[in-house]
Amino acid sequence: MSNGKNRVWRLAKRPEGTASDNDLHLAEEAMPEPGEGEALIRTVYLSLDPTNRIWMSDMDQYMEPVKIGDPMRGIIAGQVVKSNTPKMKEGELVMGVGHWADYMLTDGRGLSVIGKPGQVPLAELFGVCSAVGPTAYFGLLHLCEPKPGETVVVTAAAGAVGSVVGQIAKMKGCRAVGIAGSDEKCQWIKDECGFDAAINYKTEDVGAMLDRYCPEGVDILFENVGGSIMDEVLARMNDFSRIALCGLISQYNATEPVPGPYNFKQILMHRIKVQGFITSDFAKDYPKAMAELTQWMGEGKLKFRLDIDKGLENALTSLNKLYDGSNQGKLMVEVSEVAAA
Ligand code: NDP
């Protein structure tokens, strides 16, 4: 926006079920001016993440919920427009926690400078390395410690996080079995990402297919979904197997209390280690993860798909693609273009 206005999505009320434009409003507001110690950031990409729906709610969660009336929180890649802080210079690209808005003010907290225009392939770096890649990396490698020959099952396997998990599992010499919601997604993770097998949970009997593709049981479950799919995998976990509990997307829009896993007893019977995690728990290890992920990307070892919608005004419609499975890879909105340095 260059007319002196700033569009901001504000949370009007807490959604029940799928978030709609009754819950979030796109307001046109005056352009903010950075004070001393502040910078004005123009959003280039807004990442749309399943957790956005959690932040809209007031459920017990790992961060403060977004307050009613506040700008919607989102992970952004942006460019510094004006700066009154030594932390960032005009024209630099930044990444981190921001707002669903054309522009925002920052004192630098929660944002990292990642370079100048032309120095980094911004969409790829932002899409794969800002959250998704490190989530896959830490959840699989730090929590589950995969060993060659082990069987790793990944749910939401064709998604942004899941597809990276399967590929890292393969690099570590494991068998990777993915569960996804369409034949096209199953084909993609097998043909492009190198998964050994894929199960379409919408058309196939997940339990029977797990028996076929995991004849020696499951050593690692990277869980993104929850519900009945997780129960089927739980029933096939080996002794001393591990679960990285990364997400429970099947529950984020629930309007009623969701039942617990029916196969919870398996954790006892098979001495399964289960750990929930949030990527930021591993902040101190980010540089190592980023270095390896960018190296794998550069070498063409890490395949990924970016699903980029255009226009801040489409953020909410776009977000809901995550919950009906119509996103094809890492979902984000292009809000503006990078200006030359
Ligand atoms: P994805 O790109 O995987 O998109 C979400 C996918 O989830 C959809 O495409 C859909 O794929 C699947 N899905 C949605 N609803 C259901 C359902 N009811 N049952 C089964 N599958 C469903 O998103 P992300 O990669 O960004 O996120 C994946 C998971 O990782 C989420 O649970 C998210 O919360 C979690 N996450 C956790 C982080 C952490 O720090 N712990 C950080 C980032 C993400 P399909 O077509 O296969 O159904």
Query: Phi-psi bin for 132: left (phi > 0), alpha (psi -120 to 50), beta?
Result: alpha
Atom of ligand 1 nearest to the CA of 50: 34
Residue 81 has pLDDT above 80, yes or no: yes
Task: Return the ligand 1 atom nearest residue 331 CA.
Answer: 2
pTM for this entry: 0.97
The reply to whether 2-116+305-334 and 132-280 are identical in fold is no
Alpha carbon nearest to ligand 1 atom 10, residue: 325
Q: 303 vs 136, 148, 156, CA distance in Å?
A: 13, 21, 16
Question: What are the φ/ψ torsions at residue 309 (nearest 5 degrees)?
Answer: -90, 160
What fold is seen in the domain 2-116+305-334?
Quinone Oxidoreductase; Chain A, domain 1 (3.90.180)
Choose which residue among 63, 179, 249, 318 to substitute to test ligand 1 binding: the one with the highest number of ligand atoms within 8 A of its C-beta.
Answer: 249
Distance 136 CA to ligand 1 centre (A): 12
CA of 46 to the centre of ligand 1 (A): 17
Query: Per-residue pLDDT averaged across 124-129, rounded?
Result: 94
What band does 78 get if pLDDT is binned at 50, 70 and 90? very high
Compute, in angstroms, the gap from residue 91 CA to the centroid of ligand 1. Answer: 33
Please state the domain extents for the chain: 2-116+305-334, 132-280
Which band of pLDDT confidence, cut at 50, 70 and 90, is reported for residue 120?
Answer: confident
* Res. 2 pLDDT band, cuts 50 70 90: low
Write out residues with Cβ below 6 Å of ligand 1. Answer: 49-51, 131-132, 135, 156, 158-162, 180-182, 185, 224-225, 246-247, 249-250, 277-279, 322-323, 325, 327
How much distance in Å is there from the Cα of 231 to the middle of ligand 1? 17
CA distance 221 to 226: 11
Nearest CA to ligand 1 atom 1: 159
Residues 6+ apart with CB under 8 A from 256: none
Lowest mean pLDDT among 173-182, 310-319, 332-341: 332-341
Give the architecture (CATH level 2) of 132-280: 3-Layer(aba) Sandwich (3.40)
pLDDT digits (tens, 9 = 90+) for 135-154: 999 999 999 999 999 999 99
